[in-house]
Amino acid sequence: MESPPSLLYCGVCSDTADAVHFGGLSCRACAAFFRRKVAGGKMSIGRRCNGNCKLDTVVSRRLCPFCRYDKCLRIGMKTTAVLSRLATVKTEPGEGTSSGSGWAMGNLLEQMKEAHRNLENARRGEFMNEVRALPV
């Protein structure tokens, strides 16, 4: 049996990392922050600092969005990864939106649970592959 990997930390705020998001090892909060900044088109963040803010805690990561965004870029997060993901979501046709789709609510809920389990398993597997590929 494979031993669990040692704890990995977010390259932005030092919280526990859960995956490689948009090309950089990070926590979900920093990944969501990066995605919102890129998707919102707010690339020119107001600068109220000297560019060297310390972002080493969950609290301090919220204090300076400019430095947080800059650090996201420095750890390898790619704006193109966010934009390509958004383009995919916007071009997919909507399915199952009609109220007369014939799905029983219980069946739909079970399918959603199964899809979520499959997604989490796939993410976990991809995360382990990316962790193994990281330079030591």
Residues of the chain with pLDDT > 90, as a percent, come to: 24
Q: Which residues 6+ apart lie within 8 Å of 79 measured at CB?
A: 38, 73
Same domain, 64 and 112: no
Same domain, 70 and 110: no
Among 74, 91, 108, identify where a domain stops: 91
Kindly report the pTM of this predicted structure.
0.58
Domain count, the chain: 2
- Output the CA torsion sign for 31, 32, 33, 35: positive
Return the closest-CA partner of residue 130 out of 19, 4, 30, 53: 19
Same domain, 76 and 110: no
Same domain, 37 and 87: yes
Report yes or no: 65 and 45 within 8 Å, Cβ to Cβ: yes
Q: Which residues pair with 25 in a beta bridge?
A: 20
Same domain, 87 and 104: no
Same domain, 132 and 71: no
Q: Per-residue DSSP letters for 90-105? A: HHSPP-S-STTS---H
Same domain, 56 and 119: no
> What is the pLDDT at residue 1?
46
Q: Which domain holds residue 44?
A: 1-91
**Residue 60 belongs to a domain with what CATH number?**
3.30.50.10
Question: Tens of pLDDT along 68-126?
Answer: 998 999 999 998 888 776 666 555 555 444 444 454 566 777 788 888 888 888 888 88
